Structures are given as C-alpha cells and as structure tokens.
Amino acid sequence: MEKLQYLRLDNNIITKIKGLSTLVNLKWLDLSFNQISVIEGLEKCYRIQDLSLYSNKIKELSGIENLVELNVLSIGKNMLNNLEKTLKYLVSLKNKLEVLKIAENNFPKQNEKTYHFRCIAHLKNLKYLDYELISSKTRNDAMEEFKDEITNT
C-alpha cells in the first residue's frame, strides 16, 4: 500500500479520516460525499496534490498544513461559516494551491461578486475559483476592491 498514489473513498459513510499514515506517496484523495466533520489523519500525506472533501460536515478548515504539494482543494458544500477565517487559514499555508472549490458553505450572505473578489484578492496564486477560470481583469478588479483588507492582514 505504500506505493498507492490514488485513493477514492467517496460516497461512503466515513466519519473520521484515519489509517492513511502509511500512504506517503498518495497524490490524489477523494473523500467527498461522506460524514467527515474534522480534517485529521493527513499529517504524513505530504505529497497530496488533489484533495476532495466536497459535501461533508466540516465546520472549520484545518489539518492540511503538511500538504505542501496541494494544488487542488475541493471543500465546497460543507458547514464552513466564516469566510474571513477560512481565507486567513488558506493564506497561511505553504502549498501550491491553484484550484479551490469553496462555494455552497454556510458563509454569511454577501453578493457573489464580493465573495469571489474577496477569495481572489486573498489567494493570489489561484487560477480557478469554484471551477471557473480567473481572468487577469477579474484578478485586478478584486485586488483593487480589497486592497485595504489585504494590506491590513
């Protein structure tokens, strides 16, 4: 199992991430459509590039600090409720995140443009947000709109 690179565990009734510590070569992990409430058990999975936790019961984004190769993160349709805290956590990570699916969470209502612009302004390396390509014009507009927020963080 040490050589395993792709693991698909979606659509199960998994409530806790465990037993993955020996999968040190894992690059792609799909845990979508489960019952996971806390992200844990991924500390030794340094090589994960693509992680899907879509449609679970996660209330707070954490537990992915060691995923230094992470490029794609799908965390949409969970129970995240603080966009600012979530973005602050994502900004603090040392990874290669370029694709983020974060829509369909319990963030306080704001118009879609504000939500997109805030995510794009904070996460400068993103190329896709909610599976939509971020144009340079959109990035520039987002940076302009949230420049005060960015400089104060």
pLDDT one-digit tens code per residue, 47-100 = 999 999 999 999 999 999 999 999 999 999 999 999 999 999 999 999 999 999
Check residue 127 and report its DSSP letter: S
Position 33 scores a pLDDT of 98
Task: Please calculate the CA angle 104-127-57 and round it to the nearest 5 degrees.
Answer: 25
Global confidence as pTM:
0.94
Per-residue pLDDT tens digits for 24-42: 999 999 999 999 999 999 9
At residue 111, does pLDDT exceed 90? Answer: no
b (16+ CB within 10 A) / e for 88-122: eebeebebebebbbbbebebeeeeeeebbbbbbbb
Average pLDDT, the chain: 94
The answer to whether residues 142 and 135 touch, using CB atoms and an 8 Å cutoff, is: no
Domains and CATH numbers, the chain: 6-151 (3.80.10.10)
Position 113 scores a pLDDT of 81
Mean pLDDT of the region 106-128: 91
At residue 153, does pLDDT exceed 70? Answer: no
Tokens found for residue 65:
């600090």
